[in-house]
Amino acid sequence: MNANKKIDINEEELKKKLTPEQYHILREKGTEAPFTSKILDVKGKGMFACAVCGNQLFSSNTKFDSGTGWPSFDQAIPGSVEMHDDGTHGMARTEVTCAKCGSHLGHVFNDGPATTGKRFCINGACLIMNKE
């Protein structure tokens, strides 16, 4: 991790900006309940940005219905996210965080259906959609 490129986050200010659920997921590595995100069924083209810092993370072109109940993408915008080995909960997973602010977004798996073979399983609460 390169600490220099990370932005400073005032956690108290952030708590006022985000809902308690968003704060828990993004800053305390929580997970939203499946099938609860409005972003799951969102239609139309646009970009999905980090709810904390506005960093553009995913394009609607890469979004697909994985059936898992979480918004899923087959690739991230290059350089927008970082991956970390995550051995919590007794599973070997790869955590995905925002490359700009370090906030937790979700996990990435290697069983994606598209040519990338990736399935970014992202909490919708972490994303803000900017429609085109």
Among 40, 41, 54, smallest CA distance to 99 is for 54
Determine which one of 50, 98, 101, 121 is catalytic. 121
Residue 101 or 108: which CB sits closer to Zn ion? 101
Neighbours of 132 (CB within 10 A): 9
The two three-digit tokens of residue 13, written as one number: 């200010």
Subset of residues 22 to 81 that bind Zn ion, contact rule: CB under 5 A: 50, 52-53, 55
- DSSP for 33-69 reads PTT--GGGG--S-EEEEETTT--EEEEGGGEE--SSS
Pick the closest to residue 33 from 21, 42, 20 (CA basis). Answer: 21
Catalytic annotation present for 121: yes
Quick one: which segment of 11-19, 83-91, 93-101, 107-115 binds Zn ion (CB under 5 A)? 93-101
> Is 14 near Zn ion (CB under 5 A)?
no
Please identify which residue in 14, 26, 98, 127 interacts with Zn ion, judged by CB under 5 A. 98
Torsion sign, CA atoms 79, 110, 108, 118:
positive
Closest separation in Å from C-beta 43 to Zn ion: 25
Q: Considering only residues 27, 63, 100, 118, which one is a binding residue for Zn ion as defined by CB under 5 A?
A: 100
Q: Which residues are catalytic?
A: 121
Residues forming the site for Zn ion (CB under 5 A):
50, 52-53, 55, 98, 100-101, 103
